[in-house]
Structure formats: C-alpha cells, structure tokens
C-alpha cells in the first residue's frame, strides 16, 4: 500500500515513520538563544543570551511542533529562513535537526528548487551539526537529491548505525528513502529498529 503526502509517494511504513517522528517526543519547550560561544561556557541555556525570533517566529516550540511546522512547508527559496531553521532545529533536539535535513533532501513534488541549491543547504546543515550520524545520513541525503540510489546492502549498513541512537526517526527516514527497496529488506530492517526503540521505552 502507498500513500501520497505533500505530493510525495510513501509506503505505509514511511508514512508511519513520519507520524512517529512527530509523536515520540517530549513536551519540554525551549528558548531560542542567539549568543556568542564564549558567553555560554559558565551559564545555563535558560539564562544565557537574548531572545530572538527565528525560523517560523515561535520562540517556544517543542520537537513535535517544529517538525509539523516545516513538514511540506520548508522555505527552500528563502535562504535567510532556511538557515534560521537549520539553527532552530539544532537548538530543539537531534531528531529535529535531522528533520530539517529530511525536508531539505526530500522536496515536495513540483518544487523547482535546483539540485545545486539543495546541496548548498546540505552543506550549511553539515557545518551546524557534529552528531556521529552526520556523515552517514548526509550520504543518504545526497543520494536522494541527486537521484542516485544507494544499494540495499549499503542502506542496511547505514540503518544499523542509526539503531544505536534511539528515536532518531528523521535520520532513519532519510536513509530508508535513499534506495529502491524492491525486496522489502529495508522495510524489514526499519521495523526491527523501531521495535528495538519501543522496547527500550517499556
């Protein structure tokens, strides 16, 4: 079974993954802070910096709200806005940050942003992020953007790397979308990883 969301054709598994990335999050809110790195060394996140409206303009936004706010509404044509969203996602959570990369790499059907511009956004996202999964996920994101699918074997290996980082559904999505899973092996691995994460919650 396939579903069409925002002009993009999804398998049922992919649609469920998108939903889970919104639902399995905490309800803590954050303050968007614009500060110099040196100023934060001896101060908490709650007390440092000046408030500044970034991204979609909401200073108080949790992961679920943020991901919903950019789903199929990413501002590809506005560099100031997409750069702000890269920063905002990083400030909210690791999954939110990978959610920005997912939107960058999987533009909605009919969007005319060029491959060159998408790769520029990927480069900007990479500079802002230092997570251990950055390079594996970027490899998958570039495969999606350039329409050069990874092999199933390669994709399975990358998914295995994500498994150690619980609830990074957006990273999981990007990698799973990067190959043609004709035999359903990636779907099977995806479900295995999701089930292992759920078991850790119980």
Give which of 101, 70, 123 is closest to 172, Cα–Cα.
101
Q: Which domain holds residue 36?
A: 2-201
Q: Sort residue 68 into left (φ over 0), alpha (ψ -120 to 50) or beta.
A: alpha
Predicted pLDDT of residue 12: 52
Tokens of 172: 């999981």
The pTM assigned to this predicted structure is: 0.72
In this predicted structure, the answer to whether residue 20 has a pLDDT above a threshold of 60 is: no
For residue 11, name the pLDDT band (cuts at 50, 70, 90). Answer: low
Predicted pLDDT of residue 88: 95
What sign does the dihedral 48-49-52-56 (CA atoms) show? Answer: negative
Tally the domains of the chain.
1
Give which of 88, 121, 115 is closest to 102, Cα–Cα.
121
What sign does the dihedral 181-182-185-188 (CA atoms) show? Answer: positive
The predicted-structure confidence for 74-117, as pLDDT tens digits, reads as follows: 999 999 999 999 999 999 999 999 999 999 999 888 888 999 99
Q: Highest-confidence range of 24-28, 69-73, 135-139, by mean pLDDT?
A: 135-139
Please, are residues 191 and 157 in contact by the beta-carbon 8 Å criterion?
no
């Amino acid at each position: 079974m396939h579903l069409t969301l925002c002009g993009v054709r999804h398998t049922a598994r992919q649609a469920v993954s998108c939903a889970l990335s919104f639902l399995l999050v905490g309800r803590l809110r954050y303050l968007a802070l614009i500060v110099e790195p040196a100023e934060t060394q001896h101060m908490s996140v709650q007390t440092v910096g000046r408030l500044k409206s970034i991204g979609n303009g909401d200073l108080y936004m949790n992961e679920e709200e943020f991901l919903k706010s950019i789903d199929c509404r990413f501002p590809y044509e506005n560099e100031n806005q997409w750069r702000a969203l890269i920063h905002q996602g990083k400030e909210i959570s690791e999954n939110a940050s990978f959610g920005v990369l997912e939107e960058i790499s999987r533009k909605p059907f009919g969007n005319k942003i060029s491959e060159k511009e998408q790769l520029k956004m990927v480069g900007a996202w990479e500079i802002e992020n230092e997570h251990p999964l950055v390079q594996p996920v970027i490899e998958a994101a570039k495969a999606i953007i350039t329409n050069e699918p990874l092999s199933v074997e390669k994709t399975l290996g990358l998914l295995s790397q994500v498994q150690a980082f619980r609830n990074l559904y957006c990273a999981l999505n990007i990698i799973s979308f990067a190959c043609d899973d004709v035999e359903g092996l990636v779907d099977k691995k995806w479900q295995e990883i999701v089930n292992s994460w759920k078991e850790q919650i119980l």
